[in-house]
Amino acid sequence: MTNLSQIWPPPPPIRGKLEGGQVHIWCASLDLHPKTLIQLVKLLAKDEQERANRFIFDRDRQHFIAARARLRLILSRYLNVGPQRLRFRYGPQGKPELAGGNGDALYFNLSHSNGLALFAVTKEHKVGVDLEWIRPVDDMDSIARRFFSKAEYQAYSALPQSQQSLGFFNCWTRKEAYIKAIGQGLTCPLADFDVSLTPGQPAKLLSIKDDPQSVELWSMTALAPAAGYVGAIIVEGPVPRISCWHWTEISSEQTVGNSNQV
C-alpha cells in the first residue's frame, strides 16, 4: 500500500457551489481496503466494470475501480445526482465527458500514478490535469530527447543533475495536462508545443507551433498534492481560482465548501 504524506487538507463541511472561474482539485489514495472496493464497484456502470475486469494485475484493477468510483462520488456532489446515475461519453481519444443531460454542466479530468489520483472539476472551460510519482527512469535522457521540444530538451539538459529528474517530470506532467485538455491525447505531437520545466519557476505553456496566439488562451499551474509527486493543471481561460482538497472516507458525506487556495 502506498504511504502518502498528504499536503492538502480535507474539505470543510460547509456547503458551497462551483462558480465560473473556479477549479476544484481533489487528491485521493487508490490503495483501499478490499471491503471498501466491494462497495465502490457497485457505483460503476456495466462498461466500467467490464473494463476493470480486463486488467491483468489486481493492483491495476483495484486502482481503476477506486479512481472511477471516486470520480462519480465527486461529480455527484456538484450535480445532486446519485453517483450510479451518472453517464459518460468518450471523445475520439477516450477522454470522458458527462452525458445524459449533465454534459454541459461540468468539465473535469483525472489522472493517477502510484496509488494517488487527482480529479479536477470546473465549469465553462476545458481542463486537463496530470500527475506523476517522481522515480528513477533509466532512459530519462533518451525519452526527453525523443519527446520534448528542442527548447525543452535544452532547458532540461542545462539543469544540474540533481534537478533533472524533477525537471523531467515537471515537463512531462505539463505536456500531458495540455494534450488532455484539448482532447487529442498522444495524437498531438509533444514536440509541437513548449512548456516551462525548471524547478522553482512557474508552470507555463510557452508556445504552440503554428498557432502562437492561442498560448494566451490557457492558464497552467503546478501541483504538489503529496510528498514525492508532481502534477500540473491547465485551464482554458484566465487564471482560475484553484481550491485543493484531500479526499477522505468521510468526504462523500460532506458538502463542497471553502478550501485552501493555490
Q: Report if residue 176 sits inside a domain.
A: yes
Q: Report if residue 9 sits inside a domain.
A: no
Q: Report if residue 15 sits inside a domain.
A: no
Would you state the pLDDT for residue 224? 93
Examine the domain organization and report whether 101 and 163 are in the same domain. Answer: no
Examine the domain organization and report whether 196 and 256 are in the same domain. Answer: no
Examine the domain organization and report whether 74 and 152 are in the same domain. Answer: no
Under the banding of pLDDT at 50, 70 and 90, the label for residue 240 is: confident
**pLDDT over 70 at 12, yes or no:** no
Q: Report if residue 7 sits inside a domain.
A: no
Examine the domain organization and report whether 120 and 144 are in the same domain. Answer: no
Q: What are phi and psi of 132, to 5 degrees?
A: -140, 140
Q: Tell me how far apart the alpha carbons of residues 152 and 197 are, in angstroms, rounded to a whole number.
A: 7
CATH number at residue 36: 3.90.470.20
For residue 170, the enclosing domain spans: 140-218
Examine the domain organization and report whether 120 and 245 are in the same domain. Answer: yes
**pLDDT over 80 at 253, yes or no:** no
Q: Report if residue 235 sits inside a domain.
A: no
**pLDDT over 60 at 2, yes or no:** no
Examine the domain organization and report whether 57 and 146 are in the same domain. Answer: no
pLDDT, tens only, 86-122: 999 888 878 888 987 665 578 999 999 999 999 999 9
Examine the domain organization and report whether 32 and 113 are in the same domain. Answer: yes
b/e per residue 166-189 (b: at least 16 CB within 10 A): bbbbbbbbbbbbbbbbbbeeeebe
Examine the domain organization and report whether 35 and 59 are in the same domain. Answer: yes
Examine the domain organization and report whether 41 and 121 are in the same domain. Answer: yes
Q: Report if residue 233 sits inside a domain.
A: no
Examine the domain organization and report whether 55 and 110 are in the same domain. Answer: yes
Q: Report if residue 223 sits inside a domain.
A: no
Under the banding of pLDDT at 50, 70 and 90, the label for residue 45 is: very high
Examine the domain organization and report whether 48 and 178 are in the same domain. Answer: no
Q: Report if residue 226 sits inside a domain.
A: no
Examine the domain organization and report whether 159 and 209 are in the same domain. Answer: yes
* Domains: count for the chain: 2
